[in-house]
A and B are shown apart, each in its own frame.
Chain A
């Protein structure tokens, strides 16, 4: 999987989700924009929908069938959902483990 390409695709996907949520407005998204926490660019429900879309994108565009939200992902000291960058790191890790969860 091309890391840079995946990052660009996810940034675009998140930008669409944020625009949808803000009804056409919303912040400009970067790979470092917060996905969670007090400064999150998207609501938790919006994040769920973004993650579901990301899983579809990964399968369709990169042939990678993964479940991004899992107990192991939520238990990590460094959250994979902090930003697009950390999410891509996590996806790369899942890919190197042959998909599924990086337990």
Chain B
């Protein structure tokens, strides 16, 4: 993932994983918005010490944050390893990943179920799980959330609202990494997210047949639209 000089001012930038206050701020939002996510069920230690810093430093995941008046008010995570980010990390650093997963499972019973479910989905063929086939040049927007009171905010340096801006910035990073299609997995009951995907020009993958999720694809335009 691209690295650049970090500026603490208002706007959209990559998360500084060396700043523990920023990591904790993103973890807090992640817990509030996605309580069912595997990493959330593995606990705050798993996220602050492993999930965000490790996956971002190793380049398996990217995280963009939007800062307003010095406070992180929105974030987006993305990866070049759609549907298999932890699997990719486990293959490359098996002992370290296993150690952190084991710690999470020892301290939180909920983590065992979450990890088991995640592992089953990761190793199951796409067709059997109802998920789409992933092309080799695909990426995935994992999570996108903004605090409700800041959703209409337009960050400096652009005309788009904060969520659309984060999406456009992620798109630029994907383009730089040679990713041409981006997957977004959205619960069928989440009308707001479905409309957001639709408004960003994503289309539903009709070949996927998951009972709980819609799989949206977004084709990255060749030119920068941010």
Assuming A21-B152, A45-B151, is B192 touching A38 (CB within 8 A)? no
- For the complex, what is the distance from the CA of A38 to the CA of B159, rounded to whole Å? 8
**Cβ contact within 8 Å between B152 and A44:** no
Give a binary string over A72-100; 1 marks a CB under 8 Å from any B CB, 0 the rest: 00110001010000000000000000000
B86: CB under 8 A from chain A?
Answer: no
Which residues does chain B contribute within 8 Å of A22, judged by CB atoms? 152
Which residues does chain B contribute within 8 Å of A45, judged by CB atoms? 148, 151, 192
Partner of B203, one of A37, A69, A75: A75
Min CB–CB distance A78 → chain B (angstroms):
12
Chain A 19-77 residues near chain B, CB threshold 8 A: 21-22, 35-40, 43-48, 51, 69, 71, 74-75
- Assign chain A's interface to a size class: 20 to 34
- For the complex, what is the distance from the CA of A94 to the CA of B203, rounded to whole Å? 21
**Cβ contact within 8 Å between B151 and A43:** yes
Min CB–CB distance A42 → chain B (angstroms):
8
**Cβ contact within 8 Å between B199 and A69:** no
Give a binary string over B149-162; 1 marks a CB under 8 Å from any A CB, 0 the rest: 00110000001110
Chain B 202-218 residues near chain A, CB threshold 8 A: 203-204, 206, 214
B3: CB under 8 A from chain A?
Answer: no
Min CB–CB distance A59 → chain B (angstroms):
17
Min CB–CB distance B145 → chain A (angstroms):
11
B198: CB under 8 A from chain A?
Answer: yes
Partner of A44, one of B192, B204, B206: B192
**Cβ contact within 8 Å between B203 and A81:** no
- For the complex, what is the distance from the CA of A22 to the CA of B161, rounded to whole Å? 13
Which residues does chain A contribute within 8 Å of B193, judged by CB atoms? 44
Assuming A43-B161, A75-B206, is B198 touching A81 (CB within 8 A)? yes
Min CB–CB distance B185 → chain A (angstroms):
14
Min CB–CB distance B39 → chain A (angstroms):
24
Which residues does chain B contribute within 8 Å of A36, judged by CB atoms? 195, 198-199
- For the complex, what is the distance from the CA of A79 to the CA of B201, rounded to whole Å? 9
Instruction: Considering the complex, give the chain A residue whose CB is closest to the CB of B194.
Output: A74
Which residues does chain B contribute within 8 Å of A81, judged by CB atoms? 195, 198-199
Assuming A38-B164, A43-B152, is B199 touching A74 (CB within 8 A)? no
A residues with CB within 8 A of B: 21-22, 35-40, 43-48, 51, 69, 71, 74-75, 79, 81
B residues with CB within 8 A of A: 148, 151-152, 159-161, 163-164, 191-199, 201, 203-204, 206, 214, 225
A-B contact pairs, 10 of them (CB 8 A): A40-B199, A44-B192, A46-B152, A47-B199, A48-B192, A51-B191, A69-B191, A71-B214, A74-B195, A74-B197
Additional pairs, 11, CB under 8 Å, beyond known A44-B196, A51-B195, A75-B206: A35-B199, A37-B201, A38-B225, A44-B151, A44-B195, A45-B148, A45-B192, A48-B191, A51-B191, A79-B198, A81-B199
